[in-house]
Amino acid sequence: MIEMDKSNEELIKELQELRHENRVLKALYEKDLQERHLIEADLRQSEARFRHLFQDIENISVQGYCLDGTTQYWNRASEKLYGYSAREAIGQNLVDLIIPLEMKELVKESIQEMALTGQPIPASELSLVRKDGSRVSVFSSHAIVNIPGQGPELFCIDMDLTKLKQAEESDRLKSAFLANMSHEIRTPMNGILGFADLLKSQQLTGDQQQEYIQIIEQSGVRMLNILNDIIDISRIEAGHMKLEIIESNINEQCDYIYTFFKPEVEEKGLKFSLKNSLPTQEAFINTDREKLFAILTNLVKNAIKYTQAGSIEFGYILKDTPTQLKELQFYVKDTGIGIPKDRFEAIFKRFIQSDMDNKMAHQGAGLGLSITKAYVEMLGGQIEVESKEGIGSTFYFTLPYNTNQTNKTIQKDLPPEINENLFKKLKILIVEDDKISKMLIDLTVNKIGREILKAGTGLEAIEACRNNPDIDLILMDMQMPEMNGYEATRQIRQFNSEVIIIAQTANGLNNDREKTIAAGCNDYIPKPINKTELHTLIQKYFNNSCNYYESAIQHSNF
């Protein structure tokens, strides 16, 4: 009845209000709907973002497992790390996939425990197994995540520790290597300083003096060999070792090595034999002569070092290969102490054997074979060893038989006759700041020159050259205070292009030869200066008719 009392106007007003409310409600509903859409889109975006993140993240392997160990999720990094594709892994049990035999029981128990407690096991370092059977070290973290509608899932996040481990290993080996180097250098140093001290004694017989001097000399050579090895290894590692491919006669090289080592082998009471299987006219190959020399020399030296009785044989055979190319197979065979099978690989590795506790070598830094291997590979070959402990070892290496010429004329590398009278005409300037080196060069050349001048710095050298335009030869040290030999040579060349300048350098690194020639030197000789080598070099410039004799054994680092 109340309604009956309402006027039409009032009824219309109420209706309008109701309509308004309805509109407001509709607007609110629409706004709510819009917001829900936005939130849902956000959720989808967020879900996609995390899905892609887990799926594609590099180097972090994410796996999801049911709490019975069945694989549910396997991201791309897991595929890369363990070698199983997601398709192969999903559905398989974790324990059968990547867990090594010795851990299977433990992992099964851990999964059961996690299923009971709902708590993940603590993160830890693990050694797991790849599809190919190899091992990989990972740092593994775990989480149990409740997926609505699916129940709890175990997530494992594994980070590959291989690189970190390698870096640690490399650091450890380098420290071991340095400690070994220090020992290797101290030992010959001990010989040099100790016997030099003994030489001071007045009561020595002539024979004793000679013996001590010989020991000092041997210790010096040993130390130089170690330094050369270190330099070679650094060059190889830095990729600075260059090849000089020329035509070489392998029979001549083998003959030379045979003749060179024969007295040493026979002195040890061993039999020594060489088998060249090609006639000398056909024994030409294109290779780096010095490297081949170093390879053979090192293998023969090792054979001598590690053999106390029996024989040493070396040589080569020509082998057919599955391809068109024939190859030479060189071998060095001994009846020495032999090498345990598990060390066959290690002995060729740089730094490795210097770290070995049961090292049988009492001399040498354990670098020889790694350099040898690097050289063989640079020359296109391969090296391997066959050995039995107590019976002996045979080292084999191959080289491509890359020759197209036959019937060559054979030229023997003979040392030229050093004609000392020839040098008597020379006026020589020695540029050297180090007192002992200066004295040594002076003693080496003073019998062969007409006049010897000396300078201690680059500036003094330039001045001596200006005041003595008739100087024939300058022996220029490259590292000096005030002005170094490179700069002094450049300046001397501005007013004297005739004088022969031979650089002497001590660092043995960084392309010495190229650097000195670029500065204007005619040639280069590394320190410590070898008398024959220096005389030969001088003769090269002051007697055109002579052969340039490369004293290969002296050049060789082994």
Task: Give residues in contact with ligand ADP (CB under 6 A).
Answer: 302-303, 306, 334, 336-339, 347, 353, 359-361, 364-370, 393
What is the three-class DSSP state of 436? Answer: helix
Cβ 400 to ligand ADP shortest distance, Å = 24
369: exposed, middle or buried (C-beta count within 10 Å: 0-12, 13-18, 19+)? buried
Cβ 93 to ligand ADP shortest distance, Å = 46
User: CB–CB of 161/137 below 8 Å?
Assistant: yes
β-pairing, 135-147 vs 151-160, is antiparallel
Compare residues 86 and 189 and give the one whose CB is closer to ligand ADP: 189
CA angle 283, 287, 292 (to 5 degrees): 85
Compare residues 361 and 418 and give the one whose CB is closer to ligand ADP: 361
Cβ 341 to ligand ADP shortest distance, Å = 12
- CA dist 472 and 501 (Å) reads 9
Indicate the residue whose CB is closest to ligand ADP.
Answer: 364
User: CB–CB of 288/379 below 8 Å?
Assistant: yes
Cβ 229 to ligand ADP shortest distance, Å = 8
**Which residue type occupies 479?**
Q
Tokens of 147: 């997926």
CA-based torsion, 525, 530, 536, 539: positive or negative = positive
Residues 6+ apart with CB under 8 A from 525: 502, 503, 504, 533, 534, 537
Compare residues 195 and 558 and give the one whose CB is closer to ligand ADP: 558
Strand partners, 525: 504
Compare residues 381 and 456 and give the one whose CB is closer to ligand ADP: 381
User: CB–CB of 300/264 below 8 Å?
Assistant: no
Cβ 363 to ligand ADP shortest distance, Å = 7
Compare residues 344 and 542 and give the one whose CB is closer to ligand ADP: 344
Compare residues 366 and 526 and give the one whose CB is closer to ligand ADP: 366
- Residue 229's region, left for phi above 0, alpha for psi from -120 to 50, else beta, is alpha
CA dist list (Å): 181 to 229, 233, 369, 434, 535: 11, 13, 16, 26, 33
Cβ 303 to ligand ADP shortest distance, Å = 5
**Which residue type occupies 38?**
L
Compare residues 208 and 382 and give the one whose CB is closer to ligand ADP: 382
Tokens of 315: 């040589």
User: Residue 359 carries which DSSP code?
Assistant: -
Compare residues 370 and 516 and give the one whose CB is closer to ligand ADP: 370
Cβ 339 to ligand ADP shortest distance, Å = 5
Compare residues 212 and 316 and give the one whose CB is closer to ligand ADP: 316
Cβ 336 to ligand ADP shortest distance, Å = 5
Cβ 366 to ligand ADP shortest distance, Å = 4
Per residue, the 3-state secondary structure of 366-389, as one string, reads CCHHHHHHHHHHHCCCCEEEEEEC
Instruction: Beginning with the edge strand found earlier in the chain, give each strand of the sheet holding 426-431 in spatial order.
Output: 449-455, 426-431, 473-477, 500-505, 523-526
User: CB–CB of 446/489 below 8 Å?
Assistant: no
- CA dist 114 and 67 (Å) reads 8
Compare residues 181 and 192 and give the one whose CB is closer to ligand ADP: 181
Cβ 257 to ligand ADP shortest distance, Å = 15
Cβ 361 to ligand ADP shortest distance, Å = 3
Compare residues 7 and 358 and give the one whose CB is closer to ligand ADP: 358
| Cis amide leading into 528 (omega within 30) | yes
